[in-house]
């Protein structure tokens, strides 16, 4: 769903019940709606960024634990254990990359608002 679709006229009327008689197509209504939409989208992007950063921090901690575990692998069957741990590290790296791209998209979207 596009960011512009996250906030519509009905949401505006619910948030501003005093402007019920305002027409959507009038210049005053258009200005009020666009201002409210920008405010909503800024707040939405801030919460999305905070959530992504929190998840990235949690994933990084888990990845560090797996890296420490792989350094301690020795003994019988160490190749299989190391291979399994390397797969976990790869999955965590992929997740971190995905969240980083989300943050980049978030930054670009906030510039357009």
- Whole-model pTM? 0.81
Tokens of 101: 């791209």
Residue 33: CB atoms within 10 Å: 20
| pLDDT on residue 5 | 87
Cα separation of 113 and 22, whole Å? 24
Average pLDDT over all residues of the chain: 93
Residue 1 confidence (pLDDT) above 80: no
SS3 44: helix
- In a 13 Å sphere around the CA of 3, the CA atoms on its Cβ side amount to 20
- Each residue's pLDDT tens digit, 73-98: 888 889 999 999 999 999 999 999 99
Determine the pLDDT at residue 61: 98
pLDDT for 33: 93
């Amino acid at each position: 769903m596009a960011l512009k679709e996250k906030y519509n006229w009905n949401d505006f009327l619910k948030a501003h019940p005093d402007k019920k008689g305002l027409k959507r197509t009038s210049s005053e209504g258009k200005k009020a709606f666009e201002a409210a939409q920008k405010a909503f989208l800024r707040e939405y992007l801030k919460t999305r960024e905070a959530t992504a950063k929190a998840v990235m921090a949690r994933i990084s901690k888990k990845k560090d634990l797996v890296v420490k575990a792989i350094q301690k692998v020795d003994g019988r069957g160490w190749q299989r254990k190391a291979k399994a741990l390397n797969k976990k590290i790869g999955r965590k790296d992929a997740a971190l990359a995905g969240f980083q791209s989300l943050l980049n998209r978030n930054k670009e979207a906030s510039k357009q608002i």
